[in-house]
Amino acid sequence: MSWQTILAIGSGGFIGAILRAYFNGLISNKLPHDLPYGTLGVNLIGSFLMGVLIAYFMYTTMFSLHTKSFLSTGILGALTTYSTFAIESFLLLEGGHIFLALTNISLNAFGSIFMAGSGFYLIKYFIK
């Protein structure tokens, strides 16, 4: 991996981590705290945007390798929060909130896959 790619990923990761903290806090402050909605929100938004980007990458030649790395691995890799999702789900289980934990796991897993596919097909529809 070239130093330019590493720099692109690191720069994107810096931005993505800040966006994650900002949007997670914004969402968490607006919605009740029964479920970790902030984490769910960034995971769903990030998954949708990843679908959009991958479709653009597949159907256009508009982006360089470094830009692709910056956007996907960097920004969106840091924006989405799998480890946070994992510990929040564990803590819900540990606290005896089985229904909330399973709801959180289901919404994150299936919702993220659905949003990634939605973003992908949205771009595929408009480009093809």
Residue 41 has pLDDT above 80, yes or no: yes
Question: How do residues 72-110 score in pLDDT, each as one tens digit?
Answer: 999 999 999 888 899 899 999 999 999 999 999 999 999
Q: Could you state, in order of their start, the residue ranges of all structural domains in the chain? A: 3-127
Residue 32 has pLDDT above 80, yes or no: no
The token duo for 102 is: 């399973």
DSSP 73: I
Residue 94 sits at the vertex; the CA angle it makes with 88 and 96, to the nearest 5 degrees, is 110
CB of 23 closer than 8 Å to CB of 45: yes
- Split at pLDDT 50, 70, 90, the class of 11 is very high
Q: If you search the block for the tokens 């945007």, which residue do you land on?
A: 49
Q: What is the rounded CA–CA span in Å between residue 96 and residue 13?
A: 34
Q: What is the rounded CA–CA span in Å between residue 22 and residue 126?
A: 31
